[in-house]
A = this chain, B = another copy of it.
Amino acid sequence: MELNQIYSPINEDLSKVEDALREVARVDFQWLAQLLSHSLGIGGKRIRPALTLLSGKFYNYHLEYLLHMAAAIELMHTATLVHDDAIDKSETRRGRPTIYKLWGTDPAVLLGDYLFAKSSVEVSDTLNVRAIKLLSQTLMIISQGELNQAINAFNINQKREDYFQRIFGKTASLFCLSTESGSVLSQAPEISIQHLRIYGHNLGLAFQIVDDILDFVGTEEELGKPAGSDLMQGTLTLPALMLNERYPQDNPVKQFFQNRNKPENIQTAIEQIRSSSIINDCYQVAKDFSDKACRQIQALPDIPSRQAMMDLADFVVKRRN
């Protein structure tokens, strides 16, 4: 199933989020306009704003507030990507050169700050203090997670627990925010808010695990960046972690983390992982989270949005990029 089929209950409103983002890039300061339009441009799946809109459908769908929230979330997401690329010195994302690559670290830092600010302005237009606070708390979790990742780079002694905590900070926290805020803004009963929040949490974990799998099995064309990028950054993701679990004495990931000037170990790690059952096992872990997500929303009203969210959970584990 294609994403725009899944999004059918909200496709029209999602295009209004796109309009809002294009509006953000319309500023007098020409250089800033260029940076904004490059960073907010094409290629994203817009899963987070879609989740906000879908989650808002179960009770009082208040489009104006939901649009501000969805735009705020996408702006914050973009801000973190722009900063991450500068920190990781990533040259491409979604097949296009990054802000870091085109303009350097300093503009990337300042553009990210501007996007954070614009995100806060958007969320304040929801006039909902709970939603506003959720967004800020999520940004705290994300930046704490990034600091955690920075300090644990090239650390082979990480358990699955550490990995799950890390990808919660990096990805699932924002998925939670998307679903929780959408339900908060539509005056959902507290119990439904919690169901949607936990759906978002599990969907986010599944999404990131698949991202981490694709970094090993995808082609450079599919990924929009070279395969093995995570290992290159010293980030221990689930496939690499499983390889290390299976061969704790010696394995190419361990070798590379210990001796970074031998990048040929990355290729060896990719090949070992691809030719083992690790990829299947990782997909099973992702599938379990995706199933858990679906179970959370079974008790919600049976509307097209609920089916869309089930389909999205399925899409997330089947996607190739």
Contacts and interface: CB of A to CB of B under 8 A. Distances in A.
6 contacts: A87-B105, A106-B150, A109-B109, A117-B140, A120-B135, A129-B129
A8 interface: no
A272 interface: no
Given A87-B109, A143-B114, A136 B124 contact: yes
A32 B127 CA distance: 32
B105 A118 contact: no
Contacts of A42: none
A176 to B, nearest CB: 15
Interface residues of A, number: 42
A144 interface: yes
Interface in A88-116: 105-107, 109-114, 116
A81 to B, nearest CB: 12
A147 B116 contact: no
Contacts of A195: none
A148 B87 contact: no
Contacts of A109: 83, 86-87, 109, 112
B140 A114 contact: yes
A127 B107 CA distance: 33
